[in-house]
Structure 1
Amino acid sequence: MLKTLFAAGLLTLSGTSQSDSGQARTGELPLVTKHTYTTTDFTLFSGNTLPEVKAGWESYGTLNDNKDNVILITHYFSGTSHAAGKYTEQDAEPGYWDAIIGPGKAIDTNRFFVISVDSLANLSAYDPHVVTTGPASINPATGKPYGLDFPVVTIRDFVNLQKQVLESLGIHRLHAVVGPSMGSMQAMDWAATYPDKVARVVSVIGTGQSDAWTTAYLEHWATPIKLDKKWQNGHYAKNDPPIDGLTASLALITQQALNPDFFNTQGHELNYQALEQGPLHDINTPHSIVSWLNQRAGERARLMDANHLLYLVRACQLFVAGHGDTMSKGLDNVSAPTLFLPASSDLLLMPYMARQAYQYMQGAGKPVQYDELTGTLGHLEGVAGIQQYGPQLKTFLEQ
């Protein structure tokens, strides 16, 4: 597991094909094509309007004649719409949930049409397979990147953009919405905002709202970027970005998304010791585990945009299911059977957050289930370890 995660350079909330998990792979998807959806005058939850929005999307499986076999996968914070499969035979790894999406798998593409859409302000703004509109995009009013002139976006805006993409394909109702982490926020907002369009919901390593603890926690992800002298209040050049701040943010996110057991195992592989000679004799020399973390964060930062990270942080901070005054008010609108799957070792979106939403819905007499993923990957258990719950997930989606 460790080798697969980091050989591919996967750091913040990323996944793996699980080819080393010991679980037999049922079937492979054909090569995946990235599509682009374009819309104009896109009105945001805040009331602001973007003159043009582009979003990348991809799909797996076949849409049936009634267009009622659709499962929407809503991606996590540093993820993209690349949930499964490969773009080329030469790709080192498939999409992050390939272990559960495909022919005969938990999300069976022999039966379902599975679709995913890039978020607005997608973190991987410079990934050649990502199509996204965000602060790094050109503002048509100025001919320059938006920077912080880009309006604040919310989870609701991600949902509404997905809804437009689906409607452009003639899809008006979803068999299910399934998503991890920030994707679970989108899944819950779908169910709370468009209850007549959602038949099932799966919230993986998720929550019904960002509480005070989480909002303050997330702010630490933004701070290193804002302290980087190259940030220039968000108006930096593409060829001279605040890379040090972004790298520090990604390193922080990575550690918080994992677990002490994972880090201590990795430290053992690196022969980490508290009294390493370099740090003992030079204050500028980091420990081996710190170098390891920073190196991989730096590799990831090359495809990411610092301002985009700030906007995603704010979208998560602003989240409450239904985007109303309270979580309970939003959850009152949910009618779809809902499955909460937090990870027991998660130190980021801790299980109590999913449990609060579950307990409220249970008390309100709604069809809701709760279970916990186990393992030592922390928050990443919901991405890299999701195959452990494959049979139960399959049952929930097909019942």
Structure 2
Amino acid sequence: MDPRFGLDRSITLPGDFPLAGGAVLPELTIAYETYGRLNANATNAILICHALTLDQYVASPHPRTGKAGWWTRLVGAGKPVDPEDWFIICANVLGGCMGSTGPSSIDPRDGKSYAKRFPVITISDMVTAQARLLDHLGVQRLAAVIGGSMGGMQALSWAVQYPDRVGKVVAIATAARHSAQNIAFHEVGRQAIMADPMWAGGDYPPDKPPAAGLAVARMAAHITYLSEAGLTEKFGRRLQNRAAVSFGFDADFQVESYLRHQGLSFVERFDANSYLYITRAMDYFDLAQPHDGNLARAFAGVQSRFCLVSFTSDWLYPTAESRRIVRALNAAGAPVSFVELESPFGHDAFLLDAPEMNRVINGFLLS
């Protein structure tokens, strides 16, 4: 296979992997995909960090759904992150369900899946696992780390945890901490999963997951990725395959049908326990907390250049969150550029057709 078009891999690293919460995993498996080639000086590596419900298939077809990679608008031939120029790495996060160690993995100590016995993880743990992967790949320093949403949290954490290993950071539609509102939405999703009788305390068989609960969790979360203007433009109050309301509880409206489809399709590619653990990791995220709540102090030792991007209609991670990061970086004396882009598509704007964002990222990587 031509390495420019994706090599799907995983590695298992033996030995203890300590976690921020105090627990220890007996081994670590990281599933990842690469594009392009590492140059002779190992100076062209870019790490792309994925968001909550995404995975390592950033620019190649998903093996379960057959859909194109989730960021082919940014990564690919002729795009800002071109495998002809860069060695691109994207790993499934710790706690995920596409090959990396997570709750559906087998615990080598007893041969049974971890399920609810899997220890609670953090964004910091995800980044540490990625650093182990880069060590294995022979990448000591990254030209850039790029991520949106939860991926942006990882990108910021990379600059703080491994300041001498990161040249540039692109953090898109993200925050330096999870807000009370976002924690609340995540709790609704978790409770939907755990209220499903099929969840069985987390010990459900792979072929009988808590599909109803997970679908509802996805529906609730998906609303936060959109905007009122976007929903109104796309669906309004238009009815779904009918001339009048049914006076019942079928999906009368197009928006209802859309959300139900999103929920059902999500169940086919994601694990319910992984959803619990990854949302919890996001809730715990607060870069300033270990520094007495002072975000500028968290950034005091960074050696990276930063590019922050937000979108006008993103109410999940609004522009105010990016401005807070920019102010802290300025206070820490770190070089940072920032742009707020006009978009009606809400939080998901970074995944959609965003030529202005591409121009910003391309210019930043080449500067």
CA contact (8 A) 1:189 1:322 kept: no
Residue of structure 2 in register with 1:314 after alignment:
280
Residue of structure 2 in register with 1:194 after alignment:
162
Q: Secondary structure at the match of 1:324?
A: helix
- Verify: 1:285 aligned to 2:260, yes or no: no
Deviation string for 1:1-53 (max 9, x for gaps)? xxxxxxxxxxxxxxxxxxxxxxxxxxx98432201111122221222111122
Residue of structure 2 in register with 1:64 after alignment:
39
Q: Secondary structure at the match of 1:109?
A: coil
Alpha-carbon distance change, 266 to 53 in structure 1, aligned in 2, over 3 angstroms: same
Deviation string for 1:130-177 (max 9, x for gaps)? 312111112233332211110011111111111111111111111110
Output the CA distance in 2 between the equivalents of 1:321 and 1:367. 18
Q: Secondary structure at the match of 1:277?
A: coil
Identity of aligned residues (%): 29
Shift of 1:259: 1.2
Runs of 4+ in 1 over 3 A off after TM superposition: 28-31, 85-88, 268-273
| Equivalent position to 1:77, from 45, 52, 65 | 52
Shift of 1:87: 7.3
Q: Secondary structure at the match of 1:339?
A: strand
Output the CA distance in 1 between the equivalents of 2:39 and 2:93. 26
Deviation string for 1:162-221 (max 9, x for gaps)? 111111111111111000110000000000111111111010111112233332332222
Q: Secondary structure at the match of 1:249?
A: helix
Output the CA distance in 1 between the equivalents of 2:46 and 2:288. 20
Structure with greater contact order relative to length (CA < 8 Å, sep ≥ 6): 1
After TM superposition, the structure 1 = structure 2 runs for residues 28-39 of structure 1, keeping only pairs within 5 Å, are 30-39=4-13
| Equivalent position to 2:262, from 296, 309, 312 | 296
Shift of 1:351: 1.6
Note the aligned Cα RMSD (angstroms). Answer: 2.4
Alpha-carbon distance change, 37 to 269 in structure 1, aligned in 2, over 3 angstroms: farther
Question: How many residues of Structure 1 are paired with residues of Structure 2 in the alignment?
Answer: 361
Output the CA distance in 2 between the equivalents of 1:366 and 1:192. 12
Output the CA distance in 2 between the equivalents of 1:155 and 1:267. 35
Output the CA distance in 2 between the equivalents of 1:189 and 1:354. 15
CA contact (8 A) 2:156 2:169 kept: yes
Please identify which structure carries the higher strand content: 2
CA contact (8 A) 1:181 1:206 kept: yes
The range that moved more, 246-255 or 109-118, is 109-118
- TM-score normalized by structure 1? 0.84
CA contact (8 A) 1:84 1:97 kept: yes
Shift of 1:237: 2.0
- Verify: 1:116 aligned to 2:81, yes or no: no
Output the CA distance in 1 between the equivalents of 2:83 and 2:75. 7
Alpha-carbon distance change, 271 to 59 in structure 1, aligned in 2, over 3 angstroms: same
- Verify: 1:96 aligned to 2:70, yes or no: yes
CA contact (8 A) 2:160 2:302 kept: yes
Structure 1 unmatched ranges of 5 or more: 1-27
CA contact (8 A) 1:29 1:85 kept: no
Residue of structure 1 in register with 2:80 after alignment:
106
Alpha-carbon distance change, 296 to 255 in structure 1, aligned in 2, over 3 angstroms: same
Output the CA distance in 1 between the equivalents of 2:226 and 2:259. 12
CA contact (8 A) 2:48 2:146 kept: yes
Output the CA distance in 2 between the equivalents of 1:388 and 1:276. 41
Structure 2 unmatched ranges of 5 or more: none
CA contact (8 A) 1:33 1:87 kept: no
Output the CA distance in 1 between the equivalents of 2:62 and 2:52. 21
- TM-score normalized by structure 2? 0.91
Give the aligned residue type for 2:195: L
Residue of structure 1 in register with 2:331 after alignment:
363
Output the CA distance in 2 between the equivalents of 1:63 and 1:392. 24
| Equivalent position to 2:26, from 51, 61, 68 | 51
Output the CA distance in 2 between the equivalents of 1:320 and 1:36. 29
Deviation string for 1:241-278 (max 9, x for gaps)? 211100000111111111112222332595469x9421
Output the CA distance in 2 between the equivalents of 1:366 and 1:187. 15
The range that moved more, 54-63 or 244-253, is 54-63
Give the aligned residue type for 2:220: L
